[in-house]
Structure 1
Amino acid sequence: MTKKVVYLHGFASSSQSEKAVLTSAFFARYYPHIDYAALDLPYAPDAALALIRQHIGQTTEVALIGSSLGGFLATCIAEQLGCRACLINPAVAPHKVLHQHLGRYYHPVLQQHYEVTAEHMSVLEQLMPMTLKQPQNYLLLLQSGDEVLDYRLALDYYQGASIKLSEGGDHSYVGFAAELETIANFCQLA
């Protein structure tokens, strides 16, 4: 049984994004006994993974929910821990997409500037698992209208996972709130 659930936001997002806020409210209302957190991740991938590992601690009874780049980070952790992960329009090989976004940004929740560098792209490339050890540990929620990421890359990479592909939509995942019970069930919270 899962005792801890961690929500991981995407690139240039935060714990205050619409999906994160909806997920937090859902867990507070229906699963108050679960140790739930929506983290504000640093933008250096190795620092983000270190924060996630620190938050998880020694427990193996954890499930991850990751959106976009958070889906990639969730995959990295899930492959190490063998835990379940629900991924919403996840980034596959994010170094191939994010290289277009090198530069300086401001994180409104952490209230700090950060730099996205070519070195970060190298780290992301090195972190990417070449194959999934336990694809059955993943639930993918994909929308074909995702204007940021090609959903077909996720279909290919996550073969053997539980996949729900909706026609249309966009990168934010239109209708996300309707998927929260499916996510909670996949996380094995009962």
Structure 2
Amino acid sequence: MDPQATHLLYLHGFRSSPRSTKARLMAARVAREHPDLQWWCPQLPPSPREAIDMVMKGIADWPRKSMAVVGSSLGGFYATYVAGMTRCRTVLLNPAVHPARDLALYIGDQTAWHDPAEHFYFRPEYIQELRTMEVGALTRPERVLAIIAKGDEALDWHETSARYPDSNIKLLEGGDHALSDFEENHLDDVIAFINPV
């Protein structure tokens, strides 16, 4: 049986931030009900290489058996990389599985989702950085829970669910990319998976 989580990493999606609704809901739940759980939700830089370097340095001393990662969208792709490197418990929320292909359409000036006044430039070389982070089949797929909405308007749920064939998949009829019903219908499942009773 897995131990209770002692460290929890949350990775936000493309154009997103620690101010995302799901990140704030998770932070509030952790603070209220699991105050001993070390929580880290960093603002990820636009460069995938810089983002994953920052993350891996930040969790270098974390205990692999009792750490967990939650990733949303592009953060789910990053979380899959972390899972491949650490074999930790992982929850993926509508994870991106082919970001090198899909984000090629977004090269250029972008605005931050939570503050359109914030701009960043998504550079062509970031596509190759994403390609180098593809980890293949996971060695501990049973330690992964993927919550996937068939109604995701940004990603193809067929591709997403096929990427994690031996993992725990919660496949939603309908829903949306943001998982707008996250607090009511999914937050308890996320906490239960990373904190087994």
Q: Shorter-chain-normalised TM-score: which range?
A: over 0.9
SS at match of 1:66: strand
SS at match of 1:22: helix
1:181 to 173, 176, 188: 188
Residue 43 (structure 1) shift:
1.1
2:85 to 77, 80, 83: 80
Q: CA RMSD in A?
A: 1.6
Detail structure 1 runs of 4+ shifted over 2 Å in the superposition.
Answer: 105-109, 111-114
- The two structures have a TM-score, normalised by structure 1, of 0.93
Counterpart residue identity of residue 22, structure 1: L
Tell me, yes or no, if structure 1 residue 100 matches structure 2 residue 126.
Answer: no
Aligned sequence identity (%) = 34
SS at match of 1:7: strand
Contact 1:3/1:189, CA 8 A, preserved across alignment: no
Q: Give unpaired runs (5+ residues) of structure 1.
A: none
How many residue pairs get aligned? The number is: 189
Tell me, yes or no, if structure 1 residue 164 matches structure 2 residue 170.
Answer: yes
Contact 1:143/1:169, CA 8 A, preserved across alignment: yes
- The two structures have a TM-score, normalised by structure 2, of 0.90
Tell me, yes or no, if structure 1 residue 21 matches structure 2 residue 27.
Answer: no
2:7 to 4, 9, 28: 4
Contact 2:83/2:138, CA 8 A, preserved across alignment: no
2:130 to 115, 124, 140: 124
Counterpart residue identity of residue 91, structure 2: C
User: In the aligned structure 2, how far is the partner of 1:35 from the partner of 1:96?
Assistant: 34
Tell me, yes or no, if structure 1 residue 150 matches structure 2 residue 153.
Answer: no
